[in-house]
Chain A
Amino acid sequence: MKNAVGREIPEEILQATGKEVFHGNHYYDGYEYRKDGPVTRCVIHSGGSKLVDNIHDALVKCGIRDGMTLGFHHHFREGDYVVNMVMEEVHRMGIRDITICASSLGKAHDPIVPYIEDGTITSIESSGVRGKIGEAISNGKLKGLAIMRSHGGRVRAIESGETRVDIAFIGTPTCDDYGNCRGIGGKSNCGVLSYAMVDADYADKVVAITDCLVPFPNFPAHISMTKVDYVVVVDEIGDPKKIATGAAKPTTDMRKLMMADYCTQFVVNTPYFRDGFSYQTGVGGASIASTISLAKIMKERNIRMRFGVGGLTKPMCDLLINGQVDCLLDTQDFDLDAVESVKDLRHFRISAGEYADPFNKGAVVNKLDFVILAALEVDVQFNCNVVVGSDGVITGAQGGHPDTAEGAKCTIVIVPLLQGRIPAICTDVTTVTTPGESIDVVITDYGIAINPRRQDLIEAMRNVDLPFRTIEELRDIAYSIAGEPERVQFGERIVGIIEGRDGTIMDVVRQIQPFAFAQTEGQS
């Protein structure tokens, strides 16, 4: 069955998952449902401690068994040790058919690939995967389906009961013996625990894992003891060097600086750039550069930002230090400056649900004026792909891309026209991960295309001196330089689905097959 972005979703997948095809961004607007609830446990006796000796004992106490779903967060980014150490123990215990439900998985988790291959792990739900797990999934090694969903979509799946997390493992930089978790302090300081909050609220069993036990009470707790079953102390929960590093040096790549400049010029010429606007940006070189140049113009024109959101970096925190933004709403910290900034009283931690969940009574993304995003590919319908690489292998994450893109009044995607030698603007993206109806503007080094759905923005830019083109023109330039790429060759088997924010199916990802040159005339 064809969905609203023109993708054919096979009937067997609809039947196997019980899902609908994507019907458009607002299909579920106003929908009412009763939230799922976790199993909880009464702890009434006085005193005591929730400490258990090791992960093995915690697993035993939580009643680990075949077929369970385990929850993890990704605040330790590429420095995370928690997923690997838990899965190693699960594997040692001979448990099978585990579903991993993580807010994201990266190269740090390459060591769990053998557990995919031997059937310890048979399903993965994540906002994306990188590295060898992506290769394993795309090569058909995962027995079940990989479900790729946005940060908001993950909260929706858990809150609605579609995904039931049996045991959540929450790596926490500091914790007391009664389970009060904080995202700051200790040696694995990650600032916030936003993505883990839904796990704490909805998982049947919650295990806090820390490498810094502090005396009770570890207050104010970011995740409360009232939700935690057990506490395990280990030597290291992560590699601090890979959790949050010093702020990235501002880019000196002229191509990125040029795109950043286009972006800033676009932003300041929209009607949304006014005192009290709101803004979110990513961690790419161009995004960071555009925040820096935007700050200059804000100062010149005496315009203040009301709030900044998201995964935060130094340039956003500098706005707070310089008094150019009233407050920051934080779901993740990408550098040490952001981790440090959390101590500021105007820097608020928010949960992933508050941030982006489409199935609650309103998320922060709905209040965004601007979001600046990246993409691997954008097609002439403005559909974006941020998950599947040009070789057909799953290699990226939706993260908050679909959430913020839908929520923001002005969604800008910055992408170089050519990624290496591959056209980033194309006729059809390999895989749709964010629908074109959410994308308002695409900024490339060769020019800027405004989505024709946004006639208001086209009108606002009428007298603005920027290199505007149609998206088709941008594609044609890309093809004239690099040629029209042959489509990636996939096999038949579906190895993953890309969920829309609302849980409908945006696209499917098939197993890759080795490249074969097309037969051309005269070839023997």
Chain B
Amino acid sequence: MNNPNKKRLRRTMMFLNAQKPGLLKDPFLYGPDSIMLDLEDAVAENQKDAARFSLYHALRTIDYHGCERVVRINGLDTPYWREDIRCAVAGGCDSIRIPKTESAGDVRLVEEAVAAAEQEFGRPEGSVLIMAAIESARGVMKALEICESSERLFGIALSGGDYTKDLQTHITGTGIELMGARQNLVIAARAAGVQCFDTVYTDLNNMEGLREDVETIHVMGFDGKSIINPRQIRIVHEIFTPSEREIVFAEKVVREIDAKKAMGIGVFTVDGKMIDIAFYDGAKRTIELAKASGVYKGEL
């Protein structure tokens, strides 16, 4: 199974209530990398079928202009999730997000249902990816197992609200309560070679707070962040887009390593910094990210 979308750029993943046509009709205008059409918490218990209906028709009729369409299904402890998957796969979604994931078994259960739906609705095998949301202490402790559970799994995401409740604390705005989980998840994801996404920042009036939060998780190694409002997109993208200085430096590193390798030189300096082969992948990643963000016009 080799779905090229597994590694796509996912700096921002914007939550949208799948029951609200006004939100579903054109979120791509704001330029998020992914949208997450929510059938779970945003939808009232007695509206689940109505939400599936609008989700299905939105997926079938709206051109999302290359924006990834992730569907958050209801929890595996509810009677809804199987029908959610059928609807989402039939509609043509790109990925399924599993809430409250606590084990590799959870992922495999969903994987089976997704594969069955692909077959039922004539979609190519492996075309629908999966991501797992970690929302409990147990989920955090099982992160590596979850990350390695399925070929379809492109990443994991921390869901801070439920996680802090489980931890018997609350969101403080400082990030202290999330430190362990963030660190653990990003290490597990990197170990397994999948992506890792941070939880939402809920204070819409505090753009400076958001900026600090995103700067933190960017440095920690996260691939992106869940967001709840299009106003948050620009800040996240700004921080995740390599600066011109970083791009120029990465370009030099890649070119120098390529050139020096041919000459048999292993260690050298670029702009006064000692460089060796260990810098190569990072520099390549910077270039790829710059390309995907639309700011790199060079030839590498």
Q: Does B278 contact A (CB under 8 A)?
A: no
Bound form: Cα–Cα A481–B30 in Å: 17
Within the complex, the shortest CB–CB distance from A285 to chain B, in Å, comes to 13
Give residues of chain A (442-481) contacting chain B, Cβ–Cβ below 8 Å.
Answer: 445-446, 481
User: Quick check: is A519 within 8 A (CB to CB) of the other chain?
Assistant: no
* Residues of chain B lying within 8 A (CB to CB) of residue A257: 231
Docked Cα-Cα span, A254 to B30, in Å, equals 8
Chain B residues, CB < 8 A from A252: 204, 231
State whether B29 touches A258 (Cβ < 8 A).
yes
Q: Is the CB of A254 within 8 A of B229?
A: yes
Please report the C-alpha to C-alpha distance between residue A418 and residue B26 in the assembled complex, in whole angstroms. 11
Give min CB distance, B230 to chain A, whole Å: 4
Q: Once the chains are docked, how many angstroms separate the CA of A445 from the CA of B25?
A: 12
In contact, B231 and A481 (Cβ under 8 angstroms): no
Shortest A465–chain B CB gap in Å is 10
Q: Is A255 at the interface (CB under 8 A from chain B)?
A: yes
Q: Is the CB of B29 within 8 A of A481?
A: no
Q: Which residues of B contact A445 (CB under 8 A)?
A: 26, 29
One digit per residue, 1 when the CB lies within 8 angstroms of any chain B CB and 0 when it does not, for chain A 257-281 equals 1100000000000000000000000
B25 touches A255 (CB 8 A): no
* Cβ distance A125 to chain B, nearest Cβ, rounded Å: 38
A252 CA to B230 CA in the complex, in Å? 10
Contact status B204-A258, CB under 8 Å: no
Residues of A within 8 A of B231 (CB): 252, 254, 257
Across the interface, do B204 and A255 meet the contact criterion of CB distance under 8 Å?
no
Interface code A231-266, partner B: CB below 8 Å = 1, 0 otherwise? Answer: 000000000000000000000101101100000000
The reply to whether A481 and B25 form a contact with Cβ atoms under 8 Å apart is: yes
Complex interface residues of chain B between 1 and 25 (CB less than 8 A to chain A): 25
Nearest Cβ distance between residue B14 and chain A, in whole angstroms?
Answer: 11
Check A254 against B204 for contact (C-beta < 8 Å).
Answer: no
- A255 to B29 Cα, complex, angstroms: 9
Q: Which of A378-424 contact B (CB under 8 A)?
A: 418
A305 to B125, CA, bound (A): 61
Interface string of B171-201 (1 = CB under 8 A from A): 0000000000000000000000000000000
Interchain CB contact under 8 A, B25 and A254: no
Interface size on A (CB < 8 Å)?
A: 9
What residues of chain A lie closer than 8 Å to B26, measured between beta carbons? 445-446, 481
Q: How far is the CA of A481 from the CA of B61 in the complex (A)?
A: 9
Q: CA of A254 to CA of B229 in the docked complex: distance in angstroms?
A: 8
Q: Which residues of A contact B204 (CB under 8 A)?
A: 252
Residues of A within 8 A of B29 (CB): 255, 258, 445-446
Contact B25 A258 (CB under 8 A): no
Query: Nearest Cβ in chain A — how far from B55, in angstroms?
Result: 17
- Kindly state the separation between the CA atoms of A13 and B229 in the bound complex, as whole angstroms: 52
- What is the CA–CA distance of A256 and B25 in the complex, to the nearest angstrom? 16
CA distance A138 to B230 in the complex (A): 40
Kindly list chain A residues whose C-beta atoms are within 8 Å of the C-beta of B25.
Answer: 418, 481
Contacts of A258 in B (CB 8 A): 29-30
The CA of A257 and the CA of B30, in the complex, are separated in Å by 10
* Bound-state Cα–Cα, A445 to B31, Å: 12
* Complex contacts, A255 vs chain B, CB 8 Å: 29
A494 to B137, CA, bound (A): 72
Q: List chain A residues, Cβ under 8 A from B30.
A: 254, 258
Nearest CB of chain A from residue B32's CB, rounded to whole Å = 11
Cα–Cα distance between A280 and B77 once the two chains are bound (Å): 58
| Min CB gap B163→A, angstroms | 28
CB distance from B107 to the nearest CB of A (A): 34
CA distance A481 to B24 in the complex (A): 12
Within 8 A of B (CB), among A127-165: none
Q: How far is the CA of A395 from the CA of B231 in the complex (A)?
A: 32
Kindly provide the distance from the CB of A224 to the nearest chain B CB, expressed in whole angstroms. Answer: 49
Instruction: Give the complex CA separation of A255 and B30 in angstroms.
Output: 8
Per the 8 Å Cβ criterion, residues 230-272 of B in contact with A are 230-231
Determine how close the nearest CB of chain A comes to the CB of B16; give it in whole angstroms: 13
Minimal beta-carbon separation of B202 from chain A (angstroms): 15
Q: How far is the CA of A523 from the CA of B229 in the complex (A)?
A: 45
- A446's closest neighbor in chain B, by CB? B29
Chain B residues numbered 213-235 whose CB sits less than 8 Å from any CB in chain A = 229-231
Chain A residues packing against B (C-beta within 8 Å): 252, 254-255, 257-258, 418, 445-446, 481
15 additional contacts, CB 8 Å, given A252-B231, A418-B25? A252-B204, A254-B30, A254-B229, A254-B230, A254-B231, A255-B29, A257-B231, A258-B29, A258-B30, A445-B26, A445-B29, A446-B26, A446-B29, A481-B25, A481-B26
**A-B contact list, 10 entries, CB within 8 Å:** A252-B231, A254-B229, A254-B231, A257-B231, A258-B30, A445-B26, A445-B29, A446-B26, A446-B29, A481-B25
